[in-house]
Amino acid sequence: MFRPNDNFNLLPESYLFSEVAKRIREFRADHPDADIIRMDIGDVSLPLPECIIKAMHKAVDDQASQATFHGYGPEQGYSFLRDSIAEWDYNKRGIAHITADDIFISDGAKSDIGNIGDLFGKNIRVAVTDPVYPVYVDSNVIDGRAGILSDGRWSNILYLECTAENGFRPLLPADGICEVIYLCFPNNPTGTTSTKDELRKWVEYALRNEALIIYDSAYEAYITSDNVPRSIFEIEGAEHCAIEVRSFSKTAGFTGMRCGYTVVPRTLKYRFSDGKTASLHDMWNRRQCTKFNGASYIVQRGAAALYTPEGREAIAHNVGLYMKNAHTLREALLAKGYIVAGGVDSPYVWFKTPGCKTSWQLFEQLLHDAHITSTPGAGFGKAGEGYLRFTGFNSEENTIEAVKRITNC
Ligand code: MLT
């Protein structure tokens, strides 16, 4: 008799953003005339820059001719894109040791984050911040690594609480109590960042404990502050203990296009249980060759256009607009006297209103009273209870209108 994966039976019934979308749909059905301003999921609103569209049109034409047609591409991604990433995102930023060979193109950071657990042993303990992007936790539940859920916490996951008291920055765990640490800076959902000195401590921890850091830097394009690293590979030694996951979604508006990449340096070596050397690079390559046939040629051509002068200028412009919105939201919430984080090097603004309403109650109140959507902090973890998250990804006009409504709330 077929038996399904029992771990699905342990998962909460729906994924956070699906639940948010469902509640918004229900509200819309009951209030068809409501002018709803979306500030929930981190989905971009600006169209793709023209140079990307042109590159993809050209790629479509390539597929129409025998001489330029592309069938299956390399599972690791095309070198025209991997070379540009290595040059612009690493080498020109002073990270000479990351090469095109270390980079794997994918259909998005979320897929890679969900899949990366294929590299982990069965009985290891993972550490996550709380609040946290739910994919880190849910994918470990599906893989059978999380243990039992009790009072909002999985028994085999180590939670590093990020609260107003610690400035929403996780503290280092004790030595020897986890083998994998998921870090995300600029952070989703709190919008906080880590300085070079702070990040160095995590790298030292991982090296000392032979642990692995999964570093999600999907929001690095939003960093403007000095001394905030854009890549974990700015820290010496990280090439021996970290995998970095990046996305074109929030940078270049690729949420609907699906393209990202993961850097698994060749220098990343651990040991299998029989003592043999395990190269995570070779393992990830084997995993991708087995389960993935590469991202679409057309989309990769579009992504490569981001690294042209026009592409870089367009991205800087779009990121600037989203940041301005995040800043506007941050200032408005601070003016109301709320606890606020993010909105400086991040498109996300994380805040808590006075009183003791739950995140979902606040979500419903804001939706009903102001027709504004948000993401309930509790959906990101127990430590997020009472918080909401806004995004700066709407238009400037809608953000200003949202601020008016919040101010009058
Ligand atoms: C978010 O809103 O947290 C993100 O957009 C979700 C995602 O990237 O999957």
pLDDT per residue, tens digit, the chain (409 aa), is 999 999 999 998 888 999 999 999 999 999 999 999 999 999 999 999 999 999 999 999 999 999 999 999 999 999 999 999 999 999 999 999 999 999 999 999 999 999 999 999 988 999 999 999 999 999 999 999 999 999 999 999 999 999 999 999 999 999 999 999 999 999 999 999 999 999 999 999 999 999 999 999 999 999 999 999 999 999 999 999 999 999 999 999 999 999 999 999 999 999 999 999 999 999 999 999 999 999 999 999 999 999 999 999 999 999 999 999 999 999 999 999 999 999 999 999 999 988 889 999 999 999 999 999 999 999 999 999 999 999 999 999 999 999 999 988 7
Cis ω for the linkage preceding 4 (within 30 of 0): no
Give the per-residue pLDDT at 303.
98
E strand spans, 249-311: 260-263, 269-271, 277-279
Backbone angles phi, psi at 91, to 5 degrees: -60, -45
Instruction: Convert 63-96 to b/e letters by CB count within 10 Å (16 or more is b).
Output: eeeeeeeeeeeebbbbeebbbbbbeebbbebebe
Return d(Cα 334, Cα 403) in angstroms, integer: 12
Which residue's entry shows tokens 């984050």? 113
Give the per-residue pLDDT at 81.
98
Give the per-residue pLDDT at 355.
86
Q: How far does residue 248's CA lie from ligand 1's centre (Å)?
A: 12
Work out whether strand 375-376 and strand 387-391 pair parallel, antiparallel, or are unpaired.
antiparallel
Give the per-residue pLDDT at 284.
98
Contacts of 134 (CB under 8 A, 6+ apart): 15, 16, 379, 380
Residue whose CB lies within 8 A of the most ligand 1 atoms, among 188, 322, 380, for a mutation test: 188
Residues in the chain: 409
Q: How far does residue 208's CA lie from ligand 1's centre (Å)?
A: 32
Give the per-residue pLDDT at 140.
97
102 and 281 in contact (C-beta within 8 Å)? yes
What is the position in ligand 1's atom list of the atom closest to the CA of 43?
5
Which residue's entry shows tokens 């990449």? 261
What is the position in ligand 1's atom list of the atom closest to the CA of 109?
8
Give the per-residue pLDDT at 149.
94
Work out whether strand 260-263 and strand 103-106 pair parallel, antiparallel, or are unpaired.
antiparallel
Return d(Cα 292, Cα 107) in angstroms, integer: 10
Return d(Cα 36, Cα 403) in angstroms, integer: 13
Report residues whose beta carbon is within 6 angstroms of any ligand 1 atom.
41-42, 110, 133, 188
Give the per-residue pLDDT at 14.
84
Give the per-residue pLDDT at 66.
98
Give the per-residue pLDDT at 354.
87
Question: Which sign, positive or negative, has the C-alpha torsion 55, 58, 64, 68?
Answer: negative
Q: How far does residue 377's CA lie from ligand 1's centre (Å)?
A: 13
Return d(Cα 115, Cα 286) in angstroms, integer: 13
Q: How far does residue 42's CA lie from ligand 1's centre (Å)?
A: 5
Q: How far does residue 276's CA lie from ligand 1's centre (Å)?
A: 38
Give the per-residue pLDDT at 122.
87
Residue closest by Cα to atom 5 of ligand 1: 42
What is the position in ligand 1's atom list of the atom closest to the CA of 375?
2
240 and 102 in contact (C-beta within 8 Å)? no
Q: How far does residue 160's CA lie from ligand 1's centre (Å)?
A: 20
Residue closest by Cα to atom 1 of ligand 1: 42
Q: Whole-angstrom distance between the N-terminal and C-terminal Cα of the chain?
A: 57
Closest CA to 360 of 330, 384, 337: 384
What is the position in ligand 1's atom list of the atom closest to the CA of 247?
8
Give the per-residue pLDDT at 353.
87
223-276: pLDDT as tens digits:
999 999 999 999 999 999 999 999 999 999 999 999 999 999 999 999 999 999
> Helix or strand or coil: residue 91?
helix
What is the position in ligand 1's atom list of the atom closest to the CA of 218?
8
Q: How far does residue 41's CA lie from ligand 1's centre (Å)?
A: 6
Give the per-residue pLDDT at 325.
98
Alpha helices in 63-195 (DSSP H): 79-85, 109-115, 134-142
